[in-house]
Each structure stands twice: as C-alpha cells, then as structure tokens.
Amino acid sequence: MTARIGVVTFPGSLDDQDTRRAVRLAGAEPVALWHKDKDLKQVDAVVLPGGFSYGDYLRAGAISRFSPVMETVIEQARAGLPVLGICNGFQVLTEAHLLPGAMLGNNHLHFICREQKLRVENAQTAWTGDYRDGQEISIPLKNMDGRYVADEYTLDQLEAEGRVAFRYVTAGEAADGYGNPNGSLRDIAGVTNEAGNVVGLMPHPEHAVEPLIGTGRTDGLPFFTSILKKLVAA
C-alpha cells in the first residue's frame, strides 16, 4: 500500500505543486488538500507548503492558522500525525502553536532568495531520518519574514531537548550560501516538537530534489524519503 502525503493549498500558496512533485519522486502518493476542507482524506502525513498565504496580511501565517483544514491538522498532529511546515508552512505551525517561537521580518528588511547551507542538528525526527546528525546540506531559501525568535527560556529548552532541527551554517563566505540570512536567534533554521512528528523550517527542500532543476542537487529529497520510510516501518 502506497503512503499518502497530503499537501495543503491556501490562498497564496506558491510551492504546493512543487511539494507534491517531491512527494511523488520520493515514492509516495501526493494528495491535494484544500484549506476550506476539514477532511484530510485519510492521508498518512501532511505538508504545509511555502508561499504567501492570504498575502501575509496581518502577519505571515496568522490567517491560515484559522483555516478549516487546520482544525483537523492541529488535532491530528497532537495525536501523532507527521506534519512538515516549509517556509510559510513553518510560520503557520508557529501561529497554530504546534511549534514554539515566532517568525518576524528579516533583520535586513529585504526579501532574500539564495542557496543556503544548513546543518542537520536532529536526524531523529519523522522527517529527517535519512540525514545524519551534523550533516551539512544546501537548500534554497526565499523569504521576507524568516527571522526565528523566542524568549531565552524557550531557546534554552529547545537546545536542551535537542529540538533545534536545523541551523544555518555561519562559517564561510556569505556569497556561497553561508551565514545567518535573516537574523534568526541562535542561527535556528528549523525546529521540531517534543514528539518529533512536527517539523518546521524556512528553507525549501522541495526545490532540491532533482539534479536538473533548482540547485542542481538533491539535498532536499531525504525529507520526503525519510517520512516514507517512517510510514512504511509503522
């Protein structure tokens, strides 16, 4: 039986089709989910893709968090459903309080689009099992509100519990994709919940799954093969 991975489309989503393609390349069945539909169509996992849902009006992800589909996503994520939030999807997950912290505007006040170096800090989540701890990968990044912030207590807790999933690699030349691109505290690029089933990150792994497009690398494909193996094993 083929694993089914749902990809939600909100008004303003840009990368939903790219994400469904990445799911298909990994060997799973992509299932389109509409934001107004509470029914998740019996999917085994859900991805909230990147884009500018509702134009990022009010605050990035703040309106999408109240979409009907999110009622079901929140309920099932708390019950163990694997959920991945990419860029705007990460913003939605923080607004929904499925992940701690918040996303603010980039510290340089500009939209940024580039290839970004990341270090895998936690390879034990549902979405990172095909990586190894400490592995450096290159993933496209494109955002305006990508600065991850949280209070010191929360940051210390994330560090102590190993819940920083990805960190920007700062040792190297910025022109080569190194460095903190948006002022995120402690260079955090992605985090996970305590159970490891919910993961959010700002860079876009769905744009690094084929050698002929995007970065020309496949560093993002393990996100989708990881969850597939996790589901098959379960």
- Kindly list the catalytic residues: 87, 204, 206
DSSP state for residue 186 in the 8-state scheme = G
User: CA torsion 22→72→166→202, rounded to 10°?
Assistant: 70
Helix (H) or strand (E) holding 188: strand 188-192
Pairing of strands 102-104, 112-120: unpaired
Distance from the Cα of residue 124 to its chain's centroid:
15
Tokens at 233, concatenated: 């094993």
Any residues with CB less than 8 A from the CB of 163 and at least 6 apart, and which? 122, 157, 191, 192, 193, 194
Beta pairing, strands 112-120 & 164-168: antiparallel
3-state class (DSSP) for residue 120: strand
